[in-house]
Structure 1
Amino acid sequence: MAVYVYSIAEESHPLRLDDVTGVGEPPSELRTVTAGALCAVVSDAPDDLRPKRRDLNAHQQVQDRLMKDGTVLPLRFGLTAPDDDAVRTALEERGAEYADRLRALKGCAEYHLKVMQDEEALLRQILEASSVARQLNDEIRRGTAGPDAPLALGELVAQEVHARQQALAAGVVEALRPFSREEDSSQPTGSDFLSVSFLVPDDQEELFLATELSLANQMGDEFQFRLNGPLPPYSFV
């Protein structure tokens, strides 16, 4: 039977798992596979594994339970192996790499930050700052613009939006970087211009949170900061 893999930890981790169960219906029983100084928390994998709420919650509860007692490498939902021997072989072959990451993640949690800006406020700023954009916009509204004016205005605005939001994103990351050990940016979606994860040490958590709140207040109501955490450090495994 295929094996579902949740996390990798040092063999010395307490691994207190009596109060949690694994994925599947009925819930699967958790066990460990050990190789040298490392172990993996696994269970039997259900045949019809899909990202259903019940299984996603079960996966997360295992990570949360393990993180209460020590450092783990939390693997993303859905990782399976053919059997316990395959898991053991992976631990043996990549043991040094896993041990390095465990040391890097020790005493840390992940915080994920997304930031968006009100589009109307941003457009107003661009029109106020750019005489060319303002003139094109006025001509379009009066009906005196040439046929290429809407395209020209759209391209100009898009360039300004990109430049401004790139600068804003860099500024936010730069302000929070001193309180994190690592960062991992992802492609923003929707109206967001920033999507980034920070690996925050426990002793820097208060400063990180205070700085994020201060940034949100300084940038004003036209910006929306959405901070999620503390989380298992999935982005840094």
Structure 2
Amino acid sequence: MSTYVYAIAGVGHPLRLDGVRGVGEPAREIRVLGAGPLGVVASDAPDGLRAKRRDLLAHQRVLDRLLEDGTVLPMRFGLVAADDEAVVAAIAGGSEGYAERLAEIDGCREYNVKVTRSEDDLLRQVIEEVPEARRLNDLTRAHPADHGQKMALGEILAGEVRARQDHDAREILAHLAPCAVRHSEGEPTGSCFLSTSFLVSRDQAPAFVQAVQEEAERRDDFYSFKLNGPLPPYSFV
């Protein structure tokens, strides 16, 4: 029987899992595997496991219970090993590294911040502030069949948009990073120019949330901030 892995816990974690069930239908019983000084929270893995809402929620409930009582290294949904012996061998072999990571994230949770800006507003600003962009924009409006001018305008707009988004992202990170232990930057996509996860200690969480609110309030309505958290520190495991 293959083994599904939820998390790795360190010495001293109570691993209080009474009444908690795992993934699958019927829901699998949770067990703890000893791997050197560490405990691995696991269950049997159901056949044909997919990211269904029922199983995603079951995975999250196990992590929520564990995180109530202490620090764990959370595994992302869907981590399956051949059997218990394979799990124990893999974790015990790297126990020192796992213990170091547990110490690093001790008392911390993850917060993810996504920031978008209206593309129409950004393009309008570029055309207003960059003379060459304004000139080419006027030409393309007057001569819509001139593809050379359109391409030149597109290159200027793309470069200016990237530069302004990068500038905004640096400013926002400079304001938020001091409230976090670490941060991990994701790739920007379209109008979402910043998608960053922050590792935040529990005592700094109110200050971090306030910093996000302050950053959102000092920008106009064309910016949109989305804060998710507290979350298991997936991005730092």
The two structures share one fold, judged by TM-score above 0.5: yes
SS state of the match for residue 73, structure 1?
Answer: strand
SS in structure 2 at match of 1:68:
helix
**1:220 correspondence with 2:217:** no
Determine the structure 2 residue equivalent to 1:168.
168
Equivalent residue, structure 1, for 2:199 = 199
Instruction: Map Cα deviations across residues 106-135 of structure 1 (whole Å, 9 max, x no partner).
Output: 010000011100111101110111000001
Percent identity of equivalent pairs: 52
Change (3 A) 1:79 1:147: closer
Give deviations 1:133-166, integer Å, cap 9, x for gaps. 0011111112288441000001100000000001
- Name 2:90's counterpart in structure 1: 90
Q: Does 1:182 align with 2:193?
A: no
Matches within 5 A, 1:1-237: 1-143=1-143, 146-237=146-237
- Which one-letter code corresponds to 1:205 in the other structure? A
- CA 1:73–1:66: 2 relative to 1, 3 Å: same
User: Aligned equivalents of 2:167 and 2:96: distance in 1?
Assistant: 38
TM-score (norm 1): 0.97
Q: Distance in 2 between matches of 1:145 and 1:155?
A: 17
Decide whether the 8 Å contact of 1:109 with 1:200 is kept in 2. yes
Q: Is the 8 A contact 1:11 1:34 kept in 2?
A: no
Deviations 1:73-127 (A, max 9, x none): 0001111111111111122110001000000010100000111001111011101
For 2:14, give the aligned amino acid: P
Aligned residue pairs total 237
Shift of the alpha carbon at 1:62?
0.7
Displacement of 1:178 after TM fit? 0.5
Equivalent position SS for 1:219: coil
* Residues 1:33 and 1:191: Cα distance change in structure 2 (over 3 Å): same
Contact 1:187/1:195 (<8 A) preserved: yes
Matched-pair contact (CA < 8 Å) for 1:39–1:91: no
Unpaired stretches in structure 1, ≥5 consecutive residues = none
TM-score relative to the length of structure 2: 0.97
User: Which ranges of structure 2 fall in alignment gaps of 5 or more residues?
Assistant: none
Q: Which runs of 4+ in 1 moved over 6 A?
A: none
C-alpha displacement of 1:67: 0.4
Give the letter for the 1:68 counterpart.
Answer: E
With over 3 angstroms needed to count, the CA separation of the structure-2 counterparts of 1:82 and 1:145, relative to structure 1, is: closer
SS in 1 for 2:160: helix
